[in-house]
Amino acid sequence: MVFSSLMFLFCFLPAVILLYFAVPCKFKNMVLFISSLIFYAWGEPVYVVLMLFSTAVDYTHGRLVDKYKRSGEDKKARGAVISSVIINLALLCFFKYADFAVSTVNGIFGASIPALDLPLPIGISFYTFQTMSYTIDVYRGQAKVQKNIVSFGAYVSLFPQLIAGPIVRYQTVAEALNSRKTTADKFSEGVVRFVTGLGKKVLIANNIGLVWDSVSASDFSSLTVLEAWLGILAFTFQLYFDFSGYSDMAIGLGKIFGFEFPENFRHPYMSRSVTEFWRRWHISLGVWFREYLYIPLGGNRCSKAKWLRNIAIVWLLTGLWHGAGWNFIIWGAWFGLLLMIEKLFLLKYLQKLPAAVGRAYTFLLVVFSWVLFSIDKMPDAFKFFGAMFGSNHCGFANSDAVYMLLTNAVLFAVAVLGATELPLNISKKLLGKLSAKPVVSETVKALFIAVVTLLSVAYLVDSSFNPFLYFRF
């Protein structure tokens, strides 16, 4: 439960920070490694063993790759990389996709193979991708081998971004793992970023998510058009503020400990094309697939047929990465098809259109995609699409729909504005004007931190709420 996880984090984090800055530099990675294992074990006590196994496997394979590369035995080095990838993917597939495979076989052949019903280890999709990047980067010569298993373990298990990203490639933090420094400015930036993410998650995502909870619990065939659109728009903003809020918290904590994690979101709902959207949404996942799958397949430096094949492979696997279900595969195929169309001819026309038109086009296509993403049974998804366009003959609105709109109008307005660049631009201008008055500037930051933290904690204490949506991936 995230309620307990966040409250645990509030109690746990100050002690970790105090201990981290109290110990000598050579013990800082040990503090992060042990505290990360404790944090993960608090929510997944059994699967800590799985994480330690992944750590040991990839640490060993990294050493083997380095050894064989230095001795000129490239075939053996390549074999070590392949072995690492196979083991990581085997773990991911077993825990995440075994029951999906069983249900698919049962459905096709009328078999009755019993499901394993294994609980999904939290964050396994994220940390298996991270550990695979390590051995590949060492093989490519893009990162030096990590000979300290504690430092490598800190990378694998690093609790700020362990559970829901961003996906941090080893080469991004390789240098910082061995030597890093936290300045007062970086610490302050980290605190502000963490609190910003906390506010996005707790104050916006959780509250607007209640609208989607209400709509998704209804009979889709009885929804009015307004109810259906309010529901999926609520999910659209809930997912963004939930996931980007977690990423902000992770990036902020990274800064506090001296790391620079990659940005994961850049106002994606402001995109003027689907192509641009995927350069702004879950950036670290897009980079991972590009660097470790799309480019090795040939990218766009091949025939048009192979190029389209490469896009199809990447997006089918992107959909499957998000979940073991046909809705996720169709969701990935949807975006793959849209990207193909844009790259083949549509993008050049979109670039000539007014920005508002491009943004409306992209936003609507993304909203349609979230129907597939959020509803795991395809018949129900089609019913929901029917409700959105009135084909269920329930009318445009009723008193319940109007009440839902009026009581949540301010929340929707805050979500819409918060998803744009406006808040960031305002804060930059304000702090720019106050830069000549450092006391006033720091007072404003302190007030922001205090108000958002107090409101968030009050909400956590007073309410039950939905978990981080990406925890299940």
User: Token digits for 430?
Assistant: 């304000």
| Eight-state DSSP code of residue 218 | S
Which H or E run includes 448? helix 438-462
> How would you class 119 by CB atoms within 10 Å of its CB: exposed for 0-12, middle for 13-18, buried for 19 or more?
exposed
User: Token digits for 411?
Assistant: 């929340």
- What residues are annotated to the active site? 322
SS3 (DSSP) at 108: helix
Which H or E run includes 41? helix 28-43
- From 327, 176, 314, 348, select the one nearest 256 (Cα to Cα): 176
Distance of CA 215 to the CA centre of its chain: 24
> How would you class 291 by CB atoms within 10 Å of its CB: exposed for 0-12, middle for 13-18, buried for 19 or more?
middle
For the chain, helix (H) and strand (E) counts, in that order, are: 21, 0
User: Token digits for 83?
Assistant: 């072995």
Cβ proximity of 332 and 320 under 8 Å: yes
Give the separation between CA 365 and CA 384, rounded to whole angstroms.
15
Give the separation between CA 11 and CA 261, rounded to whole angstroms.
24
Q: What are phi and psi of 420, to 5 degrees?
A: -95, 180
Cβ proximity of 39 and 12 under 8 Å: yes
Neighbours of 55 (CB within 10 A): 22
SS3 (DSSP) at 65: helix
Give the separation between CA 374 and CA 219, rounded to whole angstroms.
15
Give the separation between CA 286 and CA 339, rounded to whole angstroms.
13
What is the phi-psi region of residue 271: left when phi exceeds 0, alpha when psi lies from -120 to 50, beta otherwise?
A: beta
- From 271, 267, 275, 278, select the one nearest 357 (Cα to Cα): 271
| Eight-state DSSP code of residue 324 | S
- From 206, 142, 196, select the one nearest 173 (Cα to Cα): 142
| Eight-state DSSP code of residue 44 | -
Overall size of the chain counted in residues: 473
In the block, tokens 């009135």 appear at 390
- In Å, the largest CA–CA distance within the chain is 75
